[in-house]
Chains A and B, each alone.
Chain A
Amino acid sequence: MDLVTPDFGLIFWTFISFAILFFVLKKFAWKPIVGTVNDREQSIRAALASAEAAKREMENLTADNERILKEARVEREAMMKEAREIKAKMIADAKDEAKIQADKMIENAQAAIENEKKSAIAELKNQVASLSVEIAEKVVRQELSDKDRQLKLVENMLDDATLN
Chain B
Amino acid sequence: MSSLALIQDVVSYVPFAAIGAGLAAIGAGIGIGRIGGSAMDAIARQPEMQGKIQASAIVLIAFVEAVALFAVVVSLIAK
A contact set with B: CB distance below 8 Å: 1, 3-4
Residues of A within 8 A of B73 (CB): 4
Which residue of B has the minimal Cβ distance to A1? B77
Which residue of A has the minimal Cβ distance to B79? A1
Question: Distance in Å from the Cβ of B16 to the closest Cβ of chain A?
Answer: 16
6 contacts between A and B (CB under 8 A): A1-B77, A3-B76, A3-B77, A4-B73, A4-B76, A4-B77
Which residue of A has the minimal Cβ distance to B76? A3
State the CA gap A1–B73 with chains docked (Å).
10
State the CA gap A27–B1 with chains docked (Å).
73
State the CA gap A117–B22 with chains docked (Å).
151
B contact set with A: CB distance below 8 Å: 73, 76-77
Residues of B within 8 A of A1 (CB): 77
Question: Distance in Å from the Cβ of A6 to the closest Cβ of chain B?
Answer: 13
Residues of A within 8 A of B76 (CB): 3-4
Question: Distance in Å from the Cβ of A3 to the closest Cβ of chain B?
Answer: 6
State the CA gap A3–B76 with chains docked (Å).
8
Question: Distance in Å from the Cβ of A145 to the closest Cβ of chain B?
Answer: 151
Residues of A within 8 A of B77 (CB): 1, 3-4
Which residue of A has the minimal Cβ distance to B78? A1
State the CA gap A4–B75 with chains docked (Å).
11
Question: Distance in Å from the Cβ of A51 to the closest Cβ of chain B?
Answer: 30
Question: Distance in Å from the Cβ of B74 to the closest Cβ of chain A?
Answer: 9
Question: Distance in Å from the Cβ of A7 to the closest Cβ of chain B?
Answer: 16
Question: Distance in Å from the Cβ of A148 to the closest Cβ of chain B?
Answer: 155
Question: Distance in Å from the Cβ of B73 to the closest Cβ of chain A?
Answer: 6
Question: Distance in Å from the Cβ of A24 to the closest Cβ of chain B?
Answer: 30
Question: Distance in Å from the Cβ of A2 to the closest Cβ of chain B?
Answer: 10
State the CA gap A99–B52 with chains docked (Å).
95
Question: Distance in Å from the Cβ of B35 to the closest Cβ of chain A?
Answer: 28
Which residue of B has the minimal Cβ distance to A4? B77
Residues of B within 8 A of A4 (CB): 73, 76-77
- Cβ-closest 4 pairs across A and B: A4-B77, A3-B76, A1-B77, A4-B73
Question: Distance in Å from the Cβ of A70 to the closest Cβ of chain B?
Answer: 47
Question: Distance in Å from the Cβ of B15 to the closest Cβ of chain A?
Answer: 17
